[in-house]
Amino acid sequence: MEEKKVMLSGIQPSGDLHLGNYLGPLRHWPEMIEEFDCYFFLADLHTITVRQDPAQLRRRVLTQVAQYIACGLDPEKCTLFIQSHVPAHAQLGWVLDCYTMFGELSRMTQFKDKAAKQKENINAGLFTYPALMAADILLYQPDFVPVGEDQKQHVEICRDIAERFNGIYGEVFKIPAPHIPKVGARIMSLNDPSSKMSKSNLEGCVTLMDKPEDILRKFKRAVTDSDTERCVRFAPQEKPGVSNLIQIYAAVTGKSFEEIEEAFAGKGYGAFKPAVGEAVVETLRPIREETERLLADKAYLEGVYKAGAERASRVAEKTLRKVYKKVGFVPRG
């Protein structure tokens, strides 16, 4: 029998999961678990490149485990784990730090953006972050890594690091491909369509746990465009606000851009914005309710992430042992 292809992806529990995380990568993950050998993790090690409140971080990690399951990741059919529970990530991360160049890290746009935002805390972890992300990926030898547009550069540097390592030591790592969805790869902020939706701008960001009335309010107040035409038409350059809403509506309803334009022809933004809000409310409602139900059962969640860490560790340690041997470390025996 042919072996299943492997895929892996992760999200940082650095804030509540939002619509960008969901419509970009997360909603596609459940479709993949039947066909592929899937690893989904919570990238908690990455979150401390920015100062975190410890109690909040713990709460968010548990919530995110529940949300992964509520979004359809059946823990019996995939490996769901927390990054800090598998020490091989940090161990391989260090090795890969030594095969990653200062120059290439300096070119990472996310590093430049984050460094500009937190001038008082430009720590070494923020800089070497892509090497740890490369370790997250390469430990599991995946064929592909589904992410949103903003993480493409990090998957590309991961490929460069893996090729460099393989070039010295032979075929140690499989070279993974990024997998970017056609619709939803870059959801923009609702109150500032020139920047991507992110946890740092709450009014422009819809989280998976937001109450329906808050979601509707955020969509009603969504910034649309100051063009005179005021019609629902997909044109990201000219009309970034309304095009973002069309993209969101297309992603949650499965309709094409043309179908949406036709349905709202002559109706203007006033009718379109609440319709998008309602469609999002209905998409997120079952996820929120299921998350709340799962959060009440801490023992179940603990069972899931413990079993996940055990399964992930077995695979990750195999790759780590191979790497240690290649670079010349003496095995403990």
Mind telling me the catalytic residues? 114, 196, 199
CA distances from 264 to 233, 240, 249 (A): 9, 17, 12
Q: Could you tell me which stretch among 51-59, 191-199, 268-276, 279-287 binds ligand TYM (CB under 6 A)?
A: 191-199
Q: Is 12 in the site for ligand TYM (CB under 6 A)?
A: yes
| DSSP string for 13-69 | -SS--BHHHHHTTGGGHHHHTTTSEEEEEE-HHHHTTS---HHHHHHHHHHHHHHHH
How many residues appear in the chain?
A: 333
Q: Pick between residue 69 and residue 248 the one whose CB is nearest to ligand TYM.
A: 248
Among 167, 114, 173, smallest CA distance to 105 is for 114
Q: What's the closest the beta carbon of residue 147 comes to ligand TYM, in angstroms?
A: 3
For 146, the enclosing helix (H) or strand (E) is: strand 144-146
Q: Are 12 and 48 in contact (CB under 8 A)?
A: no
Interface with ligand TYM, residue 43, by CB under 6 A = yes
Q: Does 46 bind ligand TYM (CB under 6 A)?
A: yes
User: From CA 73, how far away is CA 30, in angstroms rounded?
Assistant: 5
Indicate the burial class of 309 (C-beta count within 10 angstroms; 0-12, 13-18, 19 or more).
Answer: buried
Find the shortest distance in angstroms from Cβ 185 to ligand TYM: 6
Q: Whole-number minimum distance, CB 54 to ligand TYM, in Å?
A: 19
Instruction: State how far the Cα of 43 lies from the Cα of 49, in Å rounded to an integer.
Output: 11
Closer CB to ligand TYM, 106 or 293, in the complex: 106
Choose, by CB under 6 A, the member of 6, 7, 16, 21 that binds ligand TYM.
Answer: 21
Total residues at interface with ligand TYM (CB under 6 A) = 26
**Binder to ligand TYM among 6, 7, 11, 69 (CB under 6 A)?**
11
Question: In the window 170-189, what residues touch ligand TYM (CB under 6 A)?
Answer: 185-187
- Binding ligand TYM (rule: CB under 6 A), the pick from 143, 150, 214, 225 is 150
CB of 308: closest distance to ligand TYM in angstroms? 15
Taking the complex as a whole, the smallest distance from the CB of residue 6 to ligand TYM amounts, in Å, to 12
User: Can you read off the two tokens belonging to residue 221?
Assistant: 């107040």
Of 209, 301, 286, 291, give the one whose Cα is nearest residue 252. Answer: 286
- Residues in contact with ligand TYM by CB under 6 A are 8-12, 20-21, 24-25, 43, 46, 133, 136-137, 145, 147-148, 150-151, 154, 185-187, 196-198
